[in-house]
Structure 1
Amino acid sequence: MKMFLPFIVYAVALTVSPSHGSSEVMVLTDSGNAVQGKVTLCNIEEYISCRTLPVSAPSPRCPVYDPVEDFIYWTDFALDSVSRVRTSGADHESKWKTFTTDPYGLAIDSSLRVLFIVIGSSLSKIDVSTKVTTQVRDSLSSPTTIAIDAETKKLIVAGSSGLMIMNYDGTGSTSLPVKETTVKFDPKANVLYYSSKSRKELGSVDMKTGETTVYGNSSGYIYVFPFEGSLYFTTEEERGKVFVMSVEDGTMSTIKINGSVSIFARMTVFRKCSDGRYGSGCTISCGHCENNASCNKVTGACEGGCEPGWMGSTCKEGCRDGLYGSGCSSRCGSCATGTVCGKIHGLCSRGCKPGWTGATCNTECSDGRYGSGCTLSCGHCSANTSCDTVTGACGYGCSPGWTGAQCNTEIGPNLLVWILTGVCSVLSILVLALTVAWRCERRPRNRRPFPSLDAHLENTHENRAYDKAPVPPGEKAGCSTADDTTTEVEYQDVPLRQVHNEQEDDYQNISLRPESDEQVYEMCNF
Structure 2
Amino acid sequence: MSDIKPWFDATLKQSRAMILQYMIVVCGLLPWIATGQAESPQLVVLLTDLGKTGELGFLHKINLHDWDTGALNIANMLRPTAIDVDRTRHHVYWTDVRTYQIRRADLDGGNNQLMASLNTSASNPEGITLDSQTRQVFYTDAGADIVARIEMDSLQSTVIVSTGLDKPMGIVADTNYKKLYWVNRGNSPKIETSDYNGAARATLVSSGLAQPNGITIDQKGGRLFWTDSAGYIESMFTNGTQRKRLRSESGRLFFYISHFNGFLYYTVRKERSFFQLHEDGLYMNIKLTASGVYLPLGIHVYSPNVNATELATCPDGRYGPACTECGQCSKGEICEKTIGQCFVGCAAGYKPRTCSQECDPGFFGENCKSPCSKCRTGTSCDHVTGKCPDGCQTGWEGDLCNVESESGHEGGLSMGTSFLTTGLIIGIAAGGALVVVIVVVVVAVCVVKKRRRPKVKEEGEVYTDIGPLDKTLDENAYTPLGASRPTNPYAEIYTVPEQCAQYTNPSW
Please indicate the TM-score interval, normalised by the length of the shorter structure.
0.3 to 0.5
TM-score (norm 2): 0.48
Structure with the bigger percentage of strand: 1
